[in-house]
């Protein structure tokens, strides 16, 4: 069994060592443009040779180039080390190659704590207290009524479901929207395009956790965000291409929206001159709401490879038509 590792901006050595520990019979190589790596006896990369000389059965990837896909003609499955597979699905992939996303690998709890922090910071108006501290001003804010502060979770996959569950621990009313029907305890469910307006109307805070597909790109635009209640708040932790940036700025400046916490952007890193950086009602973080946990990810990928080799079904196989 041969495994290729092709992950942009990721130091390969810890990943190779972990994969070798989990799959000691595997030959593991780091892919480089125009040269595959010849595995050593320890399974780590050594001298480069022609790309076609190392044909992998499986690949562990993040943002691989089309060249990698074209050169690796025997791939049975691509294992993506992040939750989103939108970049991978833009490539020309062989129809027989499975695309496998992570089920969780430690990201769900990170996402839940990030979103809960952003919701509570807005609900308790802590940003205003930050300003008061800078002005040495002792000032109370009138408490808000929690039961009138509904949080809407857009997308109820693994991460969205965990976020909805966590928000309930703080007794916020939680709405959930999904493309197909989903029933989660304590969550008021909305389904399909026809129920999206009602979902937005009922959500004081909107949390976006949708996968990025042709159907969801630019979904957070002037029309949809205007359907949030006056003073609504937007939290985007999915993909930057979901959000029409100019429309968000316009709705903030008009006063219809009270603010936003944004962790993902159309261009990353976010350019220094971008207006989001200095907008007084936008909180920016550098795509850090849920980071891949290496050890958990390696264990999950290795387990799925073992299952595939044994002819067993695995979770996380992506439907290319749906995009997730």
Q: For the chain, how big is the Rg over CA atoms in Å?
A: 22
Same domain, 239 and 129: yes
Does the residue 179 lie in any domain? yes
Does the residue 318 lie in any domain? no
Same domain, 264 and 137: yes
Mind listing the pLDDT tens digit of every residue in the chain (324 residues)? 999 999 988 899 999 999 999 999 999 999 987 654 444 434 454 443 334 479 999 999 999 999 999 999 999 999 999 878 998 999 999 999 999 999 888 899 999 999 999 999 999 999 999 999 999 999 999 999 999 999 999 999 999 999 999 999 999 999 999 999 999 999 999 999 999 999 999 999 999 999 999 999 999 999 999 999 999 999 999 999 999 999 999 999 999 999 999 999 999 999 999 999 999 999 999 999 999 899 999 999 999 999 999 999 999 999 998 888
- Report residue 79: phi and psi, to 5°: -105, 115
Does the residue 316 lie in any domain? no
Distance between CA atoms of residues 32 and 23, nearest Å:
22
Does the residue 35 lie in any domain? yes
279 catalytic, yes or no?
A: no
| CA 84 vs CA 25, 87, 149, 311: distances in Å | 29, 8, 29, 26
Does the residue 315 lie in any domain? no
Same domain, 11 and 87: yes
Determine which one of 121, 287, 294, 306 is catalytic: 287
Residue 118 has what pLDDT? 98
Same domain, 260 and 125: yes
Helices 126-134, 107-123: inter-axial angle, 10-degree rounding:
60
33 CB-near residues (< 8 Å, 6+ apart): 65, 67
Residue 42 has what pLDDT? 43
- Report residue 261: phi and psi, to 5°: -115, 120
Residues in the chain: 324
Residue 35 has what pLDDT? 52
Same domain, 70 and 118: no
- Residue 213 tokens, joined: 């597909």
CA geometry: angle 266, 283, 234, nearest 5 deg: 75
Instruction: Count the domains in the chain.
Output: 2
Same domain, 149 and 259: yes
Same domain, 94 and 124: no
Does the residue 150 lie in any domain? yes
SS3 for 78?
strand
Same domain, 130 and 255: yes
Same domain, 85 and 225: no
- Quick check: 150 and 174 in contact, CB under 8 A? yes
Determine which one of 37, 179, 239, 242 is catalytic: 239
Strand partners, 151: 174, 205
161 CB-near residues (< 8 Å, 6+ apart): 182, 184
Burial class of residue 134, CB neighbours in 10 A (0-12, 13-18, 19+): exposed
Query: What CATH number does residue 44 fall under?
Result: 3.40.50.720
* Residue 75 lies in domain: 2-105+292-309
- Residue 35 tokens, joined: 């040269």
- Quick check: 81 and 292 in contact, CB under 8 A? yes
309 catalytic, yes or no?
A: no
Same domain, 241 and 301: no
């Amino acid at each position: 069994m041969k495994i290729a590792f092709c992950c942009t901006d990721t130091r390969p050595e810890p990943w190779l060592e972990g994969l070798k520990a989990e799959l000691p019979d595997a030959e593991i190589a780091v892919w480089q443009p125009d040269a595959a790596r010849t595995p050593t006896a320890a399974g780590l990369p050594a001298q480069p040779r022609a790309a076609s000389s190392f044909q992998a059965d499986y690949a562990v990837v993040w943002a691989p180039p089309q060249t990698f896909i074209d050169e690796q003609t025997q791939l049975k499955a691509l294992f993506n080390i992040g939750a989103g597979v939108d970049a991978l699905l833009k490539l020309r992939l062989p129809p027989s190659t499975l695309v496998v996303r992570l089920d969780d690998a430690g990201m769900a709890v990170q996402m839940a704590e990030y979103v809960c922090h952003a919701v509570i910071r807005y609900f308790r108006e802590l940003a205003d207290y930050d300003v008061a501290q800078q002005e040495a001003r002792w000032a109370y804010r009138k408490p808000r009524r929690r039961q009138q502060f509904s949080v809407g979770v857009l997308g109820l996959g693994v991460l969205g479901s965990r976020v909805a569950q966590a928000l309930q621990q703080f007794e916020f009313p939680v709405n959930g929207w999904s493309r197909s029907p989903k029933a989660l305890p304590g969550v008021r469910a909305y389904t399909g395009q026809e129920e999206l307006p009602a979902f937005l109307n009922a959500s004081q805070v909107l949390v976006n956790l949708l996968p990025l597909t042709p159907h969801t790109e630019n979904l957070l635009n002037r029309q949809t965000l205007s359907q949030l209640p006056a003073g609504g708040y937007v939290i985007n932790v999915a993909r930057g291409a979901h959000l029409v940036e100019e429309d968000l700025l316009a709705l903030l400046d008009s006063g219809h929206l009270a603010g936003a916490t944004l962790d993902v952007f159309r261009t990353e890193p976010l350019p220094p001159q971008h207006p989001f950086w200095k907008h007084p009602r936008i909180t920016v973080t550098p795509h850090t709401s849920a980071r891949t946990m290496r050890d958990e990810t390696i264990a999950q990928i290795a387990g799925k490879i073992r299952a595939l080799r044994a002819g067993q079904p695995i979770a996380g196989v992506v439907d290319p038509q749906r995009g997730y």
